[in-house]
A and B are shown apart, each in its own frame.
Chain A
Amino acid sequence: MKKIIITGRRPAATELNMAPLIDMIFILLIFFLVTTSFVNEAGLERKKPQPSMKTSQTEKRTNVTLGIMADNSIWDSEEGRSIDIKSIRAYIENFLVEAPKGTVVIAADKDSLIGTVVKVMDSCRLAGVINVSVAPMTSGGDR
């Protein structure tokens, strides 16, 4: 058996009282839990067409301009044909075979719906176009 020999009085209050600290930390934790808003917004980046994209030096088409009309129909302005929203991806994939680094310009009529614009943007990006830009349609100019 060991003997504990008390040689002198130990100084008082060597132990920290942890209770208020833990209270405090809990209050902080709850505060940040309540105020932190878990808003996780997803979004698409929009590019604007550069002036150089309009002029193609070569014979080959390097960009497609998709016009979205007020009635949400989609037209290829250079070929003058309408495209169904579901076949845009295939259409753009076809175009990319000819011009692998081709760009797409979406010209949206001011009365077209943003849902259509986003769908077209999404289809183009899914088809693999790196540079998709969106611009408002200049009155009567793009078709």
Chain B
Amino acid sequence: MAPLIDMIFILLIFFLVTASFVKTPGIDIQKPYAETAENRKKTNLVIGVAQDSTIWVEGRMIDIRDTRSYLERFLQETPNGTVVISADEESRSEITLLLHDHCQAAGIKEVYIGAANK
């Protein structure tokens, strides 16, 4: 019995280390509706843009100038990570487009603009 429990412990630790958790912005966002939006199964990071066009990640507000270094750190932690920019429909489009550019400049291949499809 002991080796079996050992093995299950090893499995547990393995899953703990490899489990990818979605980093959510932690704010309430009224996303724009788009019929053609597709569900993105593996999202690693959701960047929130609030109604007042402030940028939120992991429950804190960050400046647009700090996003580049944040995204580079994110990419080191999660190579090939998928990012969804979830912007409030009343936020300024400039912020989302800038964020999209920053994500691509940081080397993130899959960047999507968040929308609700139901």
Q: Determine if A40 and B1 form an interchain contact, defined as CB atoms under 8 angstroms apart.
A: no
Question: Knowing A20-B1, A21-B1, A110-B92 touch, does A121 contact B34 (C-beta < 8 A)?
Answer: yes
Chain B, Cβ-Cβ closest to A13: B1
* Contact residues, B81-107 vs A (CB, 8 A): 84-98, 100
Alpha-carbon separation in the docked complex, A119 to B88 (Å): 13
- Is A5 an interface position by the 8 A CB rule? no
Closest beta carbon of chain A to B18's beta carbon, Å: 12
Question: Which residues of chain B in 30-45 are interfacial with respect to chain A, using CB atoms and an 8 Å cutoff?
Answer: 32-41, 43
Whether A116 touches B93, Cβ cut-off 8 Å, given contacts A25-B8, A43-B38, is yes
Q: Hey, which chain B residues are within 8 Å of A25, CB to CB?
A: 8
Q: Please name all residues of chain A whose beta carbon is closer than 8 Å to the beta carbon of B85 when the two chains form the complex.
A: 43
Seen from chain B, the residues whose Cβ lies within 8 Å of a Cβ on chain A are 1, 4-5, 8, 11-12, 15, 19, 21-22, 24, 32-41, 43, 46, 49, 84-98, 100, 111-117
> Which A residues have a C-beta under 8 Å from some C-beta of B?
16-17, 20-21, 24-25, 28, 31-32, 35, 37, 39-46, 68, 108-119, 121-122, 125-126, 134-136
